[in-house]
């Protein structure tokens, strides 16, 4: 895919988002679900306060960061050439 076409196609895609999900180290790659149990993202990081959630959770301080699933599927298809697996996952 040419650079201009790639930039145009991904310009409006959400890339990541922040949540108050209760997570801890080792949760990276976990699915983030919406209230209808649809995958909306993949967890990849959290702030320092989220690491303490092994012992206690503070929804005012703990934050988790996720890659938006639309972006992840776009990158899998267009950057990594894995369109066949994206098709399988989105059937």
Could you tell me how far CA 20 lies from the centroid of its own chain?
A: 14
Report the pLDDT value the prediction gives residue 81, as an integer from 0 to 100. 95
Tokens 């899998």 belong to residue: 76
Report the pLDDT value the prediction gives residue 46, as an integer from 0 to 100. 75
| All structural domains of the chain with their residue ranges | 3-89
- The pTM is what? 0.77
- Listed as ranges, residues in the chain with pLDDT below 70 are 1-2, 6, 47-56, 58
Query: Residue 36 has which token pair?
Result: 């209808």
Report the pLDDT value the prediction gives residue 35, as an integer from 0 to 100. 94
Strand-pair partners of 68 = 41
């Amino acid at each position: 895919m040419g650079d201009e076409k790639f930039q145009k196609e991904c310009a409006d895609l959400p890339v990541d988002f922040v949540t108050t999900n209760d997570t801890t180290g080792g949760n990276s790659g976990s699915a983030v679900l919406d209230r209808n149990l649809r995958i909306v993202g993949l967890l990849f990081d959290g702030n320092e306060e989220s690491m303490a959630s092994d012992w206690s959770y503070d929804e005012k301080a703990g934050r988790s960061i996720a890659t938006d699933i639309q972006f992840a599927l776009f990158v899998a298809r267009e950057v990594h050439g894995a369109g066949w697996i994206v098709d399988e996952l989105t059937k």
